[in-house]
A and B are shown apart, each in its own frame.
Chain A
Amino acid sequence: MARIDSTIFDLGSLDALAYRRSGIHALDPRTKVVTTALFVLTVVSFDKYTLSALLPFVLFPLALFVRAELPVGQILKKLLLALPFVFFIGIFNPWFDQRPLLEFGPLTITGGWVSFASILLRSVLTVTAALTLIATTSFTGICMALEKLGCPRVFALQLMFLYRYLFVLVEEATRLIRARALRSFHGRGHSLRVFGSLLGQLLLRSLERAQRIHLAMQCRGFDGEIRMRRPLGIHLRDVVFLLGWSGWFAVCRTWNLPQLLGTLFLELFA
């Protein structure tokens, strides 16, 4: 049986990238979290037929990629895993929305196709930004940043442990399901009742494991605060990064730069 965690849940390899060194990696996690959040909010805030105005936003993930020297292939693979979901969210738009929007000679493009393309473009932008965030900050860094930004500590810790034990939980569930599959014949053993007790088992096992983990943490002096050896601190570069990029987002949100450029060219050469 293929290990589920080796495909979809394999965020671990992204995390590994977060221990490289670069100008982007050196930024405070908070700076990156806030900037990425601003980026996502701005991209999502556009009208559903927007296409060209979104293009300048590519600059943000692209710049991070280059500055942080991330392996493009690896991130693209993760991106491809997310795309099918997006594809199915948007694929019905062309059927529902038949209003003609653009005409290129004989070719008529309906609003549905434009909004579909817009959804795809937006998803690519936001997912890439999120992946880049993890790859330059690490999931833990993000959790710590969230806590420092005022999100309740319990929540940040939860998130961190969820991330760590997701793999263990998935494996445990796979084992249970496999055990059932091996001993149920002709569809017997697939009843709701069996499924219920399977879920119960999973819950009990997780509870017991949680207890053991808590013990392990107590044995090493845990008192409710996770301490990690990460230099945190806002420097000038953080301020420049945050202000620079949010300025760029504001400009791109206000003016449709590609259109402006196009008009400018037409005026110059016409």
Chain B
Amino acid sequence: MSHHIVEVADLCYAYPDGTAALNGVNFCIHHGESVAIVGANGAGKSTLLLHLNGYLTPMQGRVRIGDYPLTKETLQDARRSVGMVFQDPDDQLFMPTVYDDVAFGPLNLGLPLDEVDLRVEAALSQVGALHLKDRPPYHLSGGEKRAVAIASVLSMSPDILVMDEPTTGLDPRGRRMLIEQLHSFQHTKIIATHDLDLVLDLCERTIVIREGRVTADGPTLDIFRDEAFLAESHLEKPLRLQACPICSRKG
């Protein structure tokens, strides 16, 4: 297996209505890395993520997942190794019970039933949602839905976890729990988010996107220290890195 697990080269994409969302994106992500993708609203983060599981086909450039370029033939394998957690969990939880939802992927993989059972239980306990097993997903709280959505992806045993704004709609405790859970996962992680504090906690590397281009790619701390650049990208230094106004006034 090659060392590069996700490779995006010169990726361009325009929506059918002519909006150019990506204008030549390049990056390369390695095994076990945890990478944040940040940028202003409309910068093209979601569009980029949709290329990683082959939902959108590049107009130019290419995407490689693992050892293979992403093409029609390798689409199935790529989708198995890239676990995608959507921004709105309602889009992802379509089965009548939490159990069925988490079992949906493994059953489609044709796994034996005992194995499916094991995987479902393991995935649900990993996100602390085993007690929700028999509940219908539409009556769960936002945080519970999110947990189940993540479990439904984990049960496929993906190599790469791709998440679009995982902390929107979560209360501070739910957010904290999610961050801790994500911390414990061994997967390669790619997280698009506006939550820079989460980035600071989880991702050692950050890719900044602006108007469909990568404008910075490097260690998270280095990028977050450059205030002028952050402002230019419609971002703000995470609170934790800012000098506390109250303390500094006192001192």
Contact = CB atoms under 8 A, between A and B. Distances in A.
Interface of A: 5, 12, 15-16, 19, 138-140, 160-161, 163-165, 167-168, 209, 212-213, 215-223, 227-229
Nearest to A19: B134
Chain A interface helix/strand/loop/mixed = helix
Interface in B67-90: 76, 79-80, 82-84, 86, 88, 90
A215 B103 contact: no
A216 B153 CA distance: 10
B173 interface: no
- 10 closest Cβ contacts across the A-B interface? A221-B108, A220-B105, A227-B107, A212-B91, A140-B96, A19-B134, A216-B92, A12-B136, A167-B138, A219-B79
B88 A212 contact: yes
A19 B94 contact: no
Given A223-B108, A229-B107, A216 B94 contact: yes
Nearest to A11: B136
Contacts of B86: 212, 216
A168 B107 contact: no
Contacts of B100: 140, 228-229
B136 A220 contact: no
A220 B116 contact: no
B156 interface: yes
A161 B93 CA distance: 11
A219 B84 contact: yes
Contact of B136 (A16, A213, A221, A228): A16
Interface in B91-143: 91-92, 94-97, 99-100, 103-105, 107-109, 113, 116-117, 134-136, 138-139
B53 interface: yes
A212 B113 CA distance: 28
Given A227-B108, A229-B103, A164 B94 contact: yes
Contact of B138 (A164, A213, A223): A164
Contacts of B55: 215, 218
A221 B76 contact: yes
Given A16-B136, A160-B96, A221 B79 contact: yes
A16 B135 contact: yes
Nearest to A217: B94
B152 A209 contact: no
Contact of A228 (B103, B105, B152): B103
Given A161-B94, A209-B90, 7 more contacts: A12-B139, A212-B91, A213-B94, A216-B94, A219-B82, A221-B105, A228-B107
A221 to B, nearest CB: 3
Nearest to B89: A216
A16 B91 contact: no
Contacts of A220: 79, 104-105, 108, 152-153, 156
A15 B103 contact: no
Nearest to B162: A219
Contacts of B116: 229
B113 A219 contact: no
Contacts of B84: 216, 219
A221 B96 contact: no
Nearest to A167: B138
Contacts of A5: 138
A212 to B, nearest CB: 4
B52 to A, nearest CB: 11
B159 to A, nearest CB: 14
B94 to A, nearest CB: 5
A165 B138 CA distance: 9
A163 B94 CA distance: 10
A16 B134 contact: yes
Contact of B91 (A15, A139, A209, A218): A209
Interface in B135-190: 135-136, 138-139, 152-153, 156
28 contacts: A12-B139, A19-B134, A138-B96, A140-B97, A160-B96, A164-B96, A164-B138, A168-B138, A209-B91, A215-B91, A216-B84, A216-B91, A216-B92, A216-B94, A217-B94, A217-B104, A218-B55, A219-B84, A220-B79, A220-B152, A220-B156, A221-B79, A221-B80, A221-B109, A222-B108, A227-B104, A227-B108, A229-B107
